[in-house]
Chain A
Amino acid sequence: MARHWRAGAAGLAVLGLTLTACGGAKVGDDSAGGSGSSGGSGKCSTFNLAINPWVGYEANAAVLAYVAEHDLGCKVEKKNLKEEIAWQGFGTGEVDAVVENWGHDDLKKKYITQQKTAVDAGPTGNEGLIGWYVPPWLAKAHPDILDWKNLNKYASKFKTSESGGKGQLLDGDPSYVTNDEALVKNLKLDFKVVYAGSETALIQAYRNAEKNKEWVIGYFYEPQWFLSEVPLKKVSLPEYKEGCDADAEKVACDYPVYKLDKIVSAKFAKSGSPAYDLVKNFTWTNDDQNTVAKYIAVDKMSPDAAAKKWVEANRDKVDAWIK
């Protein structure tokens, strides 16, 4: 009986809700003016933008998506994908653009030269620096550590439970471009490369190192939002010269400066979509990217809000992309 009563009460409550609800706003009352309207310059349809998993990339993507949506009236589909899979998507029409590419000569060969499903859309303006970095406290306490020739002197300080008696050189995510094993061997360094396995692990290691004054040396790169939190110092390796990294086994020089670039699908490039022109014209500086990346990673803004803030402050740059 009690149950019967309970159901009755619930029914009454719902009836009450229904009556009070009649004053509420209805779905669709004002949706016509909001999203879905194509107020921009016409024929921009859906723009499939790959989001590779690092914050710097997300900064590029956030700004491009914001401009495409608000200035060009595109419908932007963001797709969270690793690089390899994003490039696969060029061929199947699932991905239109990758907007921060680091080297990846193997992928360029496969998808641009052989399968012809992708084309180069020019540089992003960002310069990618790869190298070995130490936490700021260490660079300050032992300034000579910033020259590779002195690394062996300190090797024993970098020993960890993982490095088998040698100094530990910490490497990061497996998708990074790295020659570190060859470098250690060819520069005759008393170090062992230990794979942290992810960018998260690498950043956490540096964060701890700076906080607790620990000895850490490892692979890192710029532009990177984390450098605005802990300004790591780069160790100089033997200078890069054209072709000194041609033979992967014999590399004994620093990494080249990477001109980061944008890759788009061949179909997208021919589509005449204003979003393609936007991607092609898009360039900015490392500082620009770090600013947006910091909004996202440190200030915890949503990518869209971060992009809005930057775009409003840099209208002139944006206008140059979409003129």
Chain B
Amino acid sequence: MTVAIEKPEKTGAVEPPAPARRVRTVNRGVVVAGILLVWLVLFAVLRGKQTLSLAAADLTDLHRWFNDVNDSIGANRNSNPLFLYFFNEIRLVIDSLVTFVQDLISQPTPGRPVPQVGWLGVVGVVGYVSWAVGNWRVALLSVAGFTFLGLQGLWQESMDTLALTLSAVCVALLFAIPLGVWAGLSDRVNRIVTPFLDFMQTMPTFVYLAPLTLFFLIGPASATIATTIYAAPPAIRITAHAIRSVPQATVEAADSMGATRRQALLKVLLPMSKRTVVMGINQTIMAALAMVTIAALINAPGLGATVIQALQSLDVGTAFNAGLAIVVLAIVLDRVTTAASGRAETARGSDSPFLKWRRQLLAAGAVVAAVLVYLSHTYIWAAEFPGEGGVGSGIARTAADVTTWAQDNLSGLTNAFRDVLTNGLLNPFQSLLTDSPWWLVGAALVAVGTVLGSWRAGATTLVCVGLLVATGVWSDAMTTLASTAVATVLVMLLGVVVGVWMGRSALVDRLIRPSLDAAQVMPPFVYLVPFLALFGATRFTAIVAAVVYAAPVAIKIIADGVRAVPETTVEAATSTGCNTWQIITKVQLPMSKGALTLATNQGLIYVLSMVVVGGLVGAGALGYDVVAGFSQGQLYGKGLAAGLAIVLLGVMFDRITQAAARRAGA
């Protein structure tokens, strides 16, 4: 962790234009180095003592207590009024919502071998809606995208996934938008809500999948609620942010004209933040799609189930084909919502000649869409996607061939790379964390947090360290911390290299960005098998998987940061005779220090969210504990504790890096 946090500070140290700050930064660097030195010395003396290690099958009292709570919920679910009148009702409502959408587009309804609306109708409606809320370009994209899903031979699976995603997003927005508005209007609500949102986003979903089926039974309701819990926070956060960023002057103007609070909200705040709120909806949709594979473990139908089933027989091709369908869905939904948020902006104030025709055109489009829906309801050829999905099997074959080729030809190289990094960096660092006495590691973390962040960050770290010890999985948490730190270093290396490249060239940006989007949305389960072949069942495989997932975020943030450096500054540096290397290291990177710290923060959080996936491929530690808790009743409590430990690590990292970012920005 220390290594990761130091990264942006180091670049700060070479910053020439601010000598005064430089002195302070160096001092801070010296202090951190001092802390590390003391730690190393004490480590050499006290190695192996008070490490709080716990064997894979051992439990603490806390873990047993969690088990008992879980069991008693299960035993009382048929008699407890809370279940009979509250949870069961919620389940009923959500179940009927999902079933309704499924009947509409994906599942055969009673008396019909096909859903109410067939593929032609869905494609027509999707195209029409994209055109109405966005523009004809995204309409074309969504028609092409949805047709491609059919050609892949995954029409029904895709529609199941779409039905589940849409239901979850609807339920999430029902709560998220009002809550976000409230948090935007009131600082106190915002302060109360934020920790809950952190919790919802960092708690591994595996931890609450099993309890959810206790509360809401096996079926679409549990899958939808699991997805909702994970997907709602971005919408809440972004809505609150949108409301907050409406200029104060505008609000005051409304007030002075005698608008009531309600009027100010409905006529000023909401319309002005519409664009950002739509971006929040966009993020919620993306998060919901990311849950598709995991929800398949509790019988959510759709593409996730295809991925999981393919993995049982290590069928990379089929898993990739289904993963690609998820990516296509994500890209279509992303572009449509992005275009929709842009439309809100352009529609206001523009008076293009088409505007007066727009109403008629919309009506004509609606008629066309209605005809397509009717056709797909009535005729088999429009209801069932024609063909055998030959494109899909072609994709599957190619993916399998590429994987086999890579496995056969690269594994020597990748194994060498793995061994160098594991023995040179990961193992020493991990033994420093796991073999030091717990109080020494804790003290070092608090000290580093205080020095790099602030007193408040130090205090938060202290609380987190205390709670980590209480979870009983301290040793595992330290193992995970070591891998997380190494992964974050790699993420930042990639982020700086690719980010700067993209930030400096619009062409490179356009070429690379789609693969970044794909890497973020492609379910990690798909690339686990090839990675396992390349790197074996090791901690390193988990690190690589985490890097693939987390690097795109860091790259995007850094690219934006580099691009935000004023053109004039770069030109001035060029005119003084700086070469490209100097411009990058002396001007562009130092000036985007805020972006670098933010990238570290987000990179760490994304890496942490892959800890559980890492547990499936040999990373052990917290990830394994969580998966074990999901799989074995008597380990449930331990899995829950491990999940809490991941949340605590996340909170600790987040507070330290944010405090450091504030300091860097000041």
Interface residues of A (CB under 8 A from B): 1, 3-4, 6-8, 10-11, 14, 17-18, 21, 24-29, 31, 34-36, 53-55, 58, 79-85, 88-89, 91-92, 94-95, 106-107, 110, 115, 160-162, 170, 173-175, 181, 193-205, 207-208, 212, 225, 248, 296-298, 300
Residues facing A in B105-136 (CB within 8 A) are 111-114, 118, 136
The answer for the CA separation of A123 and B529 in the assembled complex, in Å, is: 34
Cβ B361 vs Cβ A81 within 8 A: no
Cβ A170 vs Cβ B537 within 8 A: yes
Q: Chain A residues with Cβ under 8 A from B75's Cβ?
A: 115
The answer for the CA separation of A28 and B380 in the assembled complex, in Å, is: 9
Q: B269 on the interface (CB 8 Å rule)?
A: no
Cβ B529 vs Cβ A208 within 8 A: no
With both beta carbons as reference points, the residue of chain A lying nearest to B635 in the complex is identified as: A174
Question: 15 interchain pairs (CB within 8 A)?
Answer: A10-B365, A14-B372, A17-B375, A27-B112, A80-B296, A80-B299, A81-B218, A88-B218, A95-B218, A162-B618, A170-B537, A196-B617, A196-B618, A201-B537, A248-B57
The answer for the CA separation of A28 and B539 in the assembled complex, in Å, is: 55
Q: B556 on the interface (CB 8 Å rule)?
A: no
Cβ A194 vs Cβ B618 within 8 A: yes
Q: B298 on the interface (CB 8 Å rule)?
A: yes
Q: Chain A residues with Cβ under 8 A from B536's Cβ?
A: 160, 205, 208
Cβ B218 vs Cβ A94 within 8 A: yes
Which of B24-32, B196-204, B209-217, B658-666 lies on the face that meets chain A?
B209-217
Q: In the complex, which of the residues B371, B381, B632 contacts A24, with contact meaning CB atoms closer than 8 Å?
A: B381
Please indicate which of the listed interface residues B422, B538, B617 has the most CB atoms of chain A within 10 Å of its own CB. B538
Given A3-B354, A53-B312, A85 and B218 contact (CB-CB distance below 8 Å): yes
Cβ A34 vs Cβ B217 within 8 A: no
Please indicate which of the listed interface residues B312, B353, B354, B628 has the most CB atoms of chain A within 10 Å of its own CB. B312
Cβ B631 vs Cβ A84 within 8 A: yes
Given A26-B379, A27-B114, A181-B55, A204 and B632 contact (CB-CB distance below 8 Å): no
Q: How far is the CB of A167 from chain B (nearest CB, A)?
A: 15
Q: How far is the CB of A24 from chain B (nearest CB, A)?
A: 4
Cβ A202 vs Cβ B218 within 8 A: no
Cβ A161 vs Cβ B423 within 8 A: yes
Which of B165-173, B585-593, B599-607, B619-627 lies on the face that meets chain A?
B619-627
With both beta carbons as reference points, the residue of chain A lying nearest to B380 in the complex is identified as: A25
With both beta carbons as reference points, the residue of chain B lying nearest to A85 in the complex is identified as: B213
Given A3-B361, A197-B623, A200-B616, A175 and B354 contact (CB-CB distance below 8 Å): no
Q: Chain A residues with Cβ under 8 A from B112's Cβ?
A: 27-28, 31
Cβ B213 vs Cβ A88 within 8 A: yes
Residues facing A in B372-420 (CB within 8 A) are 372, 375, 377-383, 407, 411, 418-419
Q: What interface size band does chain B fall in? A: 35 or more
Given A21-B381, A174-B631, A300-B315, A198 and B617 contact (CB-CB distance below 8 Å): yes
Q: How far is the CB of A181 from chain B (nearest CB, A)?
A: 6
Please indicate which of the listed interface residues B210, B218, B298, B365 has the most CB atoms of chain A within 10 Å of its own CB. B218
Contact pattern, B 307-325, Cβ under 8 Å of A = 1, otherwise 0: 0110111110010000000
Cβ A18 vs Cβ B617 within 8 A: no
Q: B367 on the interface (CB 8 Å rule)?
A: yes
Q: B92 on the interface (CB 8 Å rule)?
A: no
Cβ B537 vs Cβ A202 within 8 A: yes
Q: How far is the CB of A183 from chain B (nearest CB, A)?
A: 13
Given A79-B299, A82-B630, A197 and B618 contact (CB-CB distance below 8 Å): yes
The answer for the CA separation of A175 and B78 in the assembled complex, in Å, is: 28
Given A162-B538, A200-B312, A212-B411, A195 and B56 contact (CB-CB distance below 8 Å): yes
With both beta carbons as reference points, the residue of chain B lying nearest to A164 in the complex is identified as: B427
Q: Chain B residues with Cβ under 8 A from A115's Cβ?
A: 74-75
The answer for the CA separation of A215 and B422 in the assembled complex, in Å, is: 19
Q: Chain B residues with Cβ under 8 A from A170's Cβ?
A: 537
Cβ B619 vs Cβ A197 within 8 A: yes
Q: Chain B residues with Cβ under 8 A from A300's Cβ?
A: 313, 315, 318
Cβ B422 vs Cβ A161 within 8 A: yes
Given A21-B381, A25-B380, A94-B218, A225 and B427 contact (CB-CB distance below 8 Å): no
Q: In the complex, which of the residues A26, A193, A225 contacts B380, with contact meaning CB atoms closer than 8 Å?
A: A26
Contact pattern, B 353-366, Cβ under 8 Å of A = 1, otherwise 0: 11001001100110
The answer for the CA separation of A9 and B158 in the assembled complex, in Å, is: 30
Cβ B364 vs Cβ A181 within 8 A: no
The answer for the CA separation of A265 and B301 in the assembled complex, in Å, is: 23
Q: Chain A residues with Cβ under 8 A from B633's Cβ?
A: 84, 106-107, 110
Q: Chain A residues with Cβ under 8 A from B377's Cβ?
A: 27
With both beta carbons as reference points, the residue of chain A lying nearest to B614 in the complex is identified as: A197
Q: Chain A residues with Cβ under 8 A from B632's Cβ?
A: 84, 106, 174-175
Q: Chain A residues with Cβ under 8 A from B311's Cβ?
A: 200
The answer for the CA separation of A17 and B381 in the assembled complex, in Å, is: 11
Q: How far is the CB of A292 from chain B (nearest CB, A)?
A: 13
Q: Chain B residues with Cβ under 8 A from A36's Cβ?
A: 111
Cβ B411 vs Cβ A208 within 8 A: yes
Q: Chain B residues with Cβ under 8 A from A110's Cβ?
A: 71, 633
The answer for the CA separation of A92 and B213 in the assembled complex, in Å, is: 10
Q: Chain B residues with Cβ under 8 A from A91's Cβ?
A: 74, 77-78
Given A18-B375, A21-B382, A34-B113, A201 and B312 contact (CB-CB distance below 8 Å): no
Q: Chain B residues with Cβ under 8 A from A82's Cβ?
A: 297, 630-631
Nearest first, the 8 A-B pairs at minimum CB distance are A174-B628, A175-B631, A297-B313, A196-B537, A204-B532, A201-B537, A161-B422, A198-B616
Given A85-B218, A162-B538, A24 and B618 contact (CB-CB distance below 8 Å): no
With both beta carbons as reference points, the residue of chain B lying nearest to A205 in the complex is identified as: B537
Given A27-B379, A175-B631, A160 and B619 contact (CB-CB distance below 8 Å): no
The answer for the CA separation of A194 and B318 in the assembled complex, in Å, is: 29
Q: B528 on the interface (CB 8 Å rule)?
A: yes
Cβ A174 vs Cβ B375 within 8 A: no
The answer for the CA separation of A134 and B377 in the assembled complex, in Å, is: 56
Query: Apart from A3-B357, A95-B218, what 9 extra A-B contacts exist at CB < 8 Å?
Result: A18-B371, A36-B111, A53-B308, A80-B299, A81-B298, A91-B74, A91-B77, A115-B74, A161-B540
Q: B469 on the interface (CB 8 Å rule)?
A: no
With both beta carbons as reference points, the residue of chain A lying nearest to B120 in the complex is identified as: A17
Given A4-B361, A174-B632, A200 and B305 contact (CB-CB distance below 8 Å): no
The answer for the CA separation of A78 and B423 in the assembled complex, in Å, is: 46
Q: B48 on the interface (CB 8 Å rule)?
A: no
Q: Chain B residues with Cβ under 8 A from A84's Cβ?
A: 210, 630-633
Cβ B114 vs Cβ A201 within 8 A: no
The answer for the CA separation of A82 and B633 in the assembled complex, in Å, is: 11
Q: B494 on the interface (CB 8 Å rule)?
A: no
Given A11-B368, A24-B380, A88 and B214 contact (CB-CB distance below 8 Å): yes
Given A14-B368, A161-B427, A4 and B538 contact (CB-CB distance below 8 Å): no
Cβ A197 vs Cβ B312 within 8 A: no
Q: B342 on the interface (CB 8 Å rule)?
A: no
Cβ B368 vs Cβ A25 within 8 A: no
Q: B344 on the interface (CB 8 Å rule)?
A: no
Q: Chain B residues with Cβ under 8 A from A11's Cβ?
A: 364, 367-368
Contact pattern, B 626-654, Cβ under 8 Å of A = 1, otherwise 0: 01101111110000000000000000000
With both beta carbons as reference points, the residue of chain A lying nearest to B218 in the complex is identified as: A94
Q: How far is the CB of B443 from chain A (nearest CB, A)?
A: 26
Q: Chain A residues with Cβ under 8 A from B318's Cβ?
A: 300
Cβ B219 vs Cβ A94 within 8 A: yes
With both beta carbons as reference points, the residue of chain B lying nearest to A13 in the complex is identified as: B368
Q: B615 on the interface (CB 8 Å rule)?
A: yes
Q: B533 on the interface (CB 8 Å rule)?
A: yes
The answer for the CA separation of A212 and B414 in the assembled complex, in Å, is: 14
The answer for the CA separation of A162 and B620 in the assembled complex, in Å, is: 10
With both beta carbons as reference points, the residue of chain B lying nearest to A185 in the complex is identified as: B55
